[in-house]
Amino acid sequence: MSANDDTSHEKPLPLTNLVRWMIRGEQGIAALLLFIILATMATQVFARYVFGAPFSWSEEVARLSLIWLTFISAAFVMAQGRHIAVDMISSRVGDRGKFLIECFSYIVVAGACLLLLIGGAKFIWYVGKVGSPALGVAKSWWYGAGGIGLLLMAIHSLINLIQVVATGRPIPRETPVEEDAFQLELAEGK
């Protein structure tokens, strides 16, 4: 029996299908927004150099798309555990310590996201009366991207917490491939 056979018999994490569909949806929206940015900027360049008159709306569409792309992408990157992390403690503790650190980190992330969302909701509502210069799109659409991103990150963090608590162990992640030159050798004092 190989090592792969051992992992194939493990029960899947709770809410795995929900997480998978959320990530796919977020990645699909991010890909669409990236396409909109590229198409809008290409149209802008074409209009500027061919017609000699750039569109007044293209930069605003690209900027709005970039803002939404940033916050939607932050959510699925967080769900996959691919945000930048400093791993100085959990790599030096046992399984129980890793479990507690992971639970604590999900609670802190979800709490911070929800607090920022609650604090920012009033501002998002307040700026809704103001429209953008070229498109006239309410500013709540601009700042609302942060709110949606924070909500999605909080949801992913809470789902990750549920998965960790239900299984009693940290979520298995792909081991990142690191260059030897970029590794910090704390154990050897380098």
Q: What is the pLDDT along the chain (190 residues), one digit of tens a residue?
A: 444 444 445 677 788 899 999 999 999 999 999 999 999 999 999 999 998 888 889 999 999 999 999 999 999 999 988 888 777 888 788 889 989 999 999 999 999 999 999 999 988 888 888 888 888 888 899 999 999 999 999 999 999 999 999 988 887 766 655 555 455 555 555 5
Supply 182's token pair. 């970029």
Q: What is the pTM of this model?
A: 0.81
CA distance 39 to 53: 17
Of 88, 47, 42, 80, nearest in space to 62 by CA: 42
